[in-house]
Amino acid sequence: MARQPEPVARRNRVVALGALALLAFATAWAFGRVFRGHGPTYRLIAVAFASILVAAAFERRSLLLATVASAALLSVAIGLLVFPHTTLFGLPTRETLVAIGRAVDKVGHQARVKVAPADPLAPLMLAAVTAVWAAMFSAHALAVRAGSPLLAVLPPVALVGFTDTAMQDGPRFGYGLMFLMAVLAVVFGDGIRRIMQWGPLWPVPGSSGRTTMTSTRGARKVALAAMAVAALVPGILPGLRAGPLINFSGGHDTSIANIDPLVSLASRLRSDATVVYFRVDATPRRPSYYRLFALDTTSDGVRWTASTDPELRHAPLVGSPARVGPPAIAEDQLFTQTMTLQRNFGNRSLPAAYQPVEISLGSGGPVRYDADTSVVASEDPLSAGDSYTVKSLLVEPTAEQLRGVSFATPARYGTYTSYPADIPQGIKDLAEKKAGPESLPAFDRILRIQNWLKDTGGFTYSEDVEYPADIGAVRQFLDAKKGFCQQFATTMALMLRTLGYPARLAVGYTSGTENSEVPGSYIITNRNLHTWVEVDFPGYGWIAFEPTPQRTNPVAEAAYLNPAGPLGRCEGGACSQQPKPAKRTGKDAASLESFRGQAHLGRRGGPRSSTELFPTPTTVPWSLIFRVLFAAAGILLLLVPLGKFAWRLARLIRERDPTKMVLATYRVFTGEAADLGLGRNEGETVDEYERRLAGAVSFSDGHLETLSGLVDRAAYSGRPVSEADARSAGYAARTAMREMRRNTALVRRIVGIYRPGI
């Protein structure tokens, strides 16, 4: 009989480990949905199992040792699954650590750019492997070490909840049911452990086990009913497929906010869902590009920002309708667009065809306008259903007219011709080569670079690319010859600046899809988000160029890029009615130049305040959330030790009877000893506990013997205990505890402060 508890304990461990393994499988299986394909899911399942096995192997060791061993083996798992080419016989090397460091720098950027399900790129897989490993190690520690099954499921719940938020693909009953079964298994395993403290649960050898099966039949019925309710009832509840109260994803945000060509543009283009942003009713009937922002500043050739406030908070406020151009412009030189919003505008910038001269909000509210960038903004963000009308000047010079333009020296254009000082010489040489000899007209040299990127250079359009956030991205793009509008536009603008031509990026929307039911009406979606290049031609202003394959600017193609071609996708001859104005001279040219002001020459060289174009997305106040979590963690770090101290002190103070005071003192003593890893075992007598402590710690003056003797007397003897005995027990306990702390390592003492239990 003395050997019977050993197989029982082994069975309990097997049940607990099996339940945690099921939880690991369910968590990794559900979390793996954030990646494309089944390969990443299989790797995450293997990671979850490995983390549980490592935690189980070290569960009888100190938590610190188990954590260190788990971290070391996590590095091995990362090397094998994420950076296998950097390992040596499967072990991480210095190259592995360097690769991990580079991937960590890119995790935040790729998390913003990628839309789930994403490709299993190294930075994202690094984050996923680490998250799954840490979640399952924490689950094992909470379930086995702390005996808290409900707390143990919180880390896996966080991963599964994150997946459901990122995917937004509605309820997935298969994943939910599997996860619920795993949670119930963990709770059931802990229940068996607790029941076993009262007596044997498993059938005695030789018995039929009928009693056990009968006693658990009711529990099985309750478990099955709970799973059925949890799986089926949510499907009939109202609001099941409604949007979230707080949108934590950002990837599927339906508001038209924070359009950043270097961040959210890629994610919105890659999004599986097509979201209609607004409708354009054009008069005359013609397609166009619609600008939101102009980016003119770059420090590394890859990240571009606006040197002016993107939402024009400091621009002049003009009443609606706002006339921002010269008063004397013939109607046949104007292009009228009425925009009707289908989604909320998350910012105040309004899409408009270049070059706006009159803006009118449907609500009659005021607008702001910046003549330097030709950007329009409302005083307050617009909402779905709102509308506004923009009249834009048709700037359509011919190719011959642009060939006659001469540019000033690069220094005259200030920031519009600046580029990073560390740009590789090879990029400059390539720009000179592709542009052709300087004897060519500037327009032809610019056109050669555009056509090389768009048509003749062998480049292909692809949204599944990932380049570093530095000047090396341009070199990699030129080598790979694959990318989307961001890479084509930034590369062309950078090459033009090295040649001394004033260039910037425009961010907005392509012409969209014509509504067959409403002639002259175009539907603009997230698929139409786009970045292109603008070059400032003296006398004409900013002229658009399109270096991206498969993209065509209808206004440019109708004039200087393809004079003989039709105007975009116009039908029925409507576009042929559009005039092609000749180069303006005299009074008209002076009026237009006054309208543009000094935006194209004088203001470029002056000082500007450099501000980032796009603030942190406002869907969720992440900075506030992190501050709150950080403050909560700090409070917990203080509350846990203070709470334990207060509870123990109250336990001693509230006892008035000397006998109960001695027993309370001993309970507090054993609790503090447990914080040091020297707690009293279940079923261990006072004398046995005293001998074990004496063998582990060098005590002096017999304080531990005094405490043990008084406890035996208070608990088992009929002799009364005096108040002096109670005070003596308290003094002996405090002295013995001080000696135990002196003999315990500092790390264990600190960790013990936060040990679960009193």
Mean pLDDT by 10 residues, the chain (758 residues): 49 80 89 84 91 88 87 90 84 85 73 66 87 91 83 86 69 73 80 62 47 51 60 50 43 45 49 79 88 86 77 79 76 88 81 90 86 85 88 86 89 86 88 92 94 90 74 84 88 93 92 83 89 91 90 80 45 35 42 43 38 36 66 78 84 85 90 87 86 84 86 82 88 89 83 76
| Token pair in block for residue 4 | 């019977």
Distance between CA atoms of 448 and 545, rounded to whole angstroms? Answer: 11
Give the pLDDT score at 194. Answer: 67
User: What are the DSSP E strand ranges found in 464-528?
Assistant: 482-483, 503-509, 513-514, 521-525
Residue whose pair of structure tokens reads 């924490």 in the numeric block? 138
Pairing of the two strands 375-378 and 367-370: antiparallel
* Nearest one of 103, 106, 133, 120 to 35, comparing CA atoms: 120
Give the pLDDT score at 646. Answer: 85
Give the pLDDT score at 610. Answer: 32
Give the pLDDT score at 447. Answer: 93
Which helix or strand (DSSP H or E) is residue 661 part of? helix 658-675
* Nearest one of 149, 91, 161, 101 to 126, comparing CA atoms: 101
Residue 664 identity (one-letter amino acid): A
Pairing of the two strands 482-483 and 460-461: parallel
DSSP 306: -
Give the pLDDT score at 257. Answer: 45
The helix/strand/coil state of 495 is helix
Residue 72's Cβ-count burial label (10 Å; 0-12, 13-18, 19+) is exposed
What counts of helices (H) and strands (E) characterise the chain? 23, 19
Please check whether residue 475 is in contact with residue 424, taking contact to mean a CB–CB distance below 8 angstroms. yes
Domain coordinates of the chain in residue numbers? 5-201+213-236, 630-753
Interacting residues of 720 by C-beta distance below 8 A, sequence separation 6+: 658, 659
Give the pLDDT score at 499. Answer: 93
Residue 440 identity (one-letter amino acid): L
* Nearest one of 142, 204, 132, 188 to 163, comparing CA atoms: 132
pLDDT digits (tens, 9 = 90+) for 336-376: 999 999 887 767 889 999 889 999 998 888 888 888 888 88
Distance between CA atoms of 648 and 491, rounded to whole angstroms? Answer: 68
* Nearest one of 55, 19, 155, 152 to 756, comparing CA atoms: 152
Give the pLDDT score at 104. Answer: 81
* pTM reported for the whole predicted model: 0.50
Give the pLDDT score at 442. Answer: 93
Residue 418 identity (one-letter amino acid): S
Distance between CA atoms of 106 and 84, rounded to whole angstroms? Answer: 19
CA dist 429 to 312, 423, 458, Å?
38, 11, 19
Which helix or strand (DSSP H or E) is residue 14 part of? helix 5-31
Please check whether residue 137 is in contact with residue 51, taking contact to mean a CB–CB distance below 8 angstroms. yes
